[in-house]
Structure 1
């Protein structure tokens, strides 16, 4: 009889070990609901703007942006709270560089006018940079890549115009017309154009105020004409050396 009562008391004692994982599940569910609530507070206007932009690019078929996103779209900088202005900074620097190159162009144009070199030199400011074009008759004899001795002083004066602060990258390019060259010194027009650019650049770099690491030379032969090769005047314009002054994109 006593043994039966002891067994009944043991059966009335419940196993409560399931309460621990149950409490953990409740805690996780609460955390999940908090995260979902926070994620639902998306700036609808910013999300729709970004959605429209991507959908216009990836047109055709269903876009993943057609579905509701549980992740907030961040347009603003998380650290400063301000809109990312990197694009505006790049555009502003590009405009500033164009203004600086315009001043260099005006300086070179003044030199051209003062020395009555309008037929030999000209400038052109583009988005790529500032071009200074030198007709081949100003420095080279026909079929030659050697700068004439009487024109070296002019090359030295041009080198002074290239001294800038801050310094900029400069590319010297040689160009020819489309008539094949006929002499034993050069294999073709490409060879001639390369040697003209190298020889002219070498004289420029005799100016110790210029940094040689900023300079490069290339030959383009007849492959970038600026005029027709069907006329004598067009061929004259195509035979040239170009100095390209690139915008300064380095961080200051």
Structure 2
């Protein structure tokens, strides 16, 4: 069976060359063209509308739908205004609470310094002799008693003069709030006797003896006293010299007023702060609204300025704190 010879016409080669040149020409024109973005968007939008392309729906036109799952099992979303109200109240109260804390802390520091001054007046003679020192450490008053003139060397027995001074101090302590810590310290020279096996025994025994003398005052509660012995673990000076060892042999009485003052401060802040609302029940928008609803204010209170209210609250707080210091601050 013979097969016909297929032959490409001669004109098809010329036609292909022309089409290739035409394509290159349009590509060259496109490379030199400048596209106007605004005009391009406008034309593209018109073409989209003409061909029925779905347009974007703005956010404010999103259709609202409901879901049976969220309606039954999800709490109601609170109004934006309620969240704004909670945030606004928190921002308004924060600077007032900080101001109250600062004012109260300053007044309490003043009270602590007054206590220290009262103790210094009582120990004036022994301070001048270098036997005792009084320091203020934040909300604590530290009375540092050296061994010289108070204890017999190497013994826990106190002198008669020091015992009388301790009894006078107990009368001051009974009118003060807070705990009273009595700490015994020694130098690094070891001691070993029939009564004291080490410096631990000596330091603890001296602190305990001071506590026993203070408790001769029946008005001083034993629950307020804390007795500790530290031996030579907390030196104040170098044990290499005789003077340094003399400074390390001491008893420290620390009046801690922080618990009493902080308790008063917390009560004052709680008075100033609005009561916390109970958590709303799921799905109850009315419960959430009641939780953030402001307290009713009378016309007289509305006319008063906030600083006046703060001053009134501060005066009330100061009176409460001062009641704990009545023996030191008579009218």
**Match in the other structure for 2:254:** 244
**Match in the other structure for 2:124:** 113
For residues 119 and 161 of structure 1, the distance between their equivalents in structure 2, rounded to whole angstroms, comes to 21
Q: Secondary structure at the match of 1:213?
A: helix
Please point out which of 212, 219, 232 is paired with 1:222. Answer: 232
The answer to whether the Cα contact below 8 Å between 1:77 and 1:84 also exists between their aligned partners in 2 is: no
The answer to whether the Cα contact below 8 Å between 2:112 and 2:139 also exists between their aligned partners in 1 is: no
Q: Secondary structure at the match of 2:148?
A: helix
- Cα distance, 1:225–1:149 mapped onto 2, change above 3 Å: same
Establish whether residue 157 from structure 1 lines up as the match of residue 168 from structure 2: yes
For residues 218 and 246 of structure 2, the distance between their equivalents in structure 1, rounded to whole angstroms, comes to 32
For residues 68 and 127 of structure 2, the distance between their equivalents in structure 1, rounded to whole angstroms, comes to 89
**Match in the other structure for 2:144:** 133
Aligned Cα RMSD in Å? 3.4
Q: Secondary structure at the match of 2:175?
A: coil
Establish whether residue 76 from structure 1 lines up as the match of residue 89 from structure 2: yes
**Counterpart mapping for 1:1-252 below 5 A:** 25=67, 35=77, 38-39=79-80, 74=87, 76-77=89-90, 82-83=93-94, 89-114=100-125, 117-127=128-138, 129-165=140-176, 167-247=177-257, 248=260, 249-251=262-264
For residues 101 and 231 of structure 2, the distance between their equivalents in structure 1, rounded to whole angstroms, comes to 35
Q: Secondary structure at the match of 1:172?
A: strand
Structure 1 position 103, deviation (Å) = 0.7
- Cα distance, 1:74–1:131 mapped onto 2, change above 3 Å: same
Report how many aligned residue pairs link the two structures. Answer: 195
Write out per-residue CA displacement over residues 151-180 of structure 1, whole angstroms, 9 at most, x where no aligned residue: 321221222232324x22111110111111
Structure 1: gaps (5+ residues): 1-22, 44-71
The answer to whether the Cα contact below 8 Å between 1:171 and 1:216 also exists between their aligned partners in 2 is: yes
For residues 238 and 24 of structure 1, the distance between their equivalents in structure 2, rounded to whole angstroms, comes to 79
**Which structure has the bigger radius of gyration?**
2
Q: Secondary structure at the match of 2:93?
A: coil
The answer to whether the Cα contact below 8 Å between 2:122 and 2:169 also exists between their aligned partners in 1 is: no
For residues 149 and 96 of structure 2, the distance between their equivalents in structure 1, rounded to whole angstroms, comes to 47
For residues 204 and 94 of structure 2, the distance between their equivalents in structure 1, rounded to whole angstroms, comes to 48
**Match in the other structure for 1:17:** none
For residues 154 and 145 of structure 1, the distance between their equivalents in structure 2, rounded to whole angstroms, comes to 16
**Match in the other structure for 1:66:** none
Structure 1 position 214, deviation (Å) = 1.2
Structure 1 position 125, deviation (Å) = 0.5
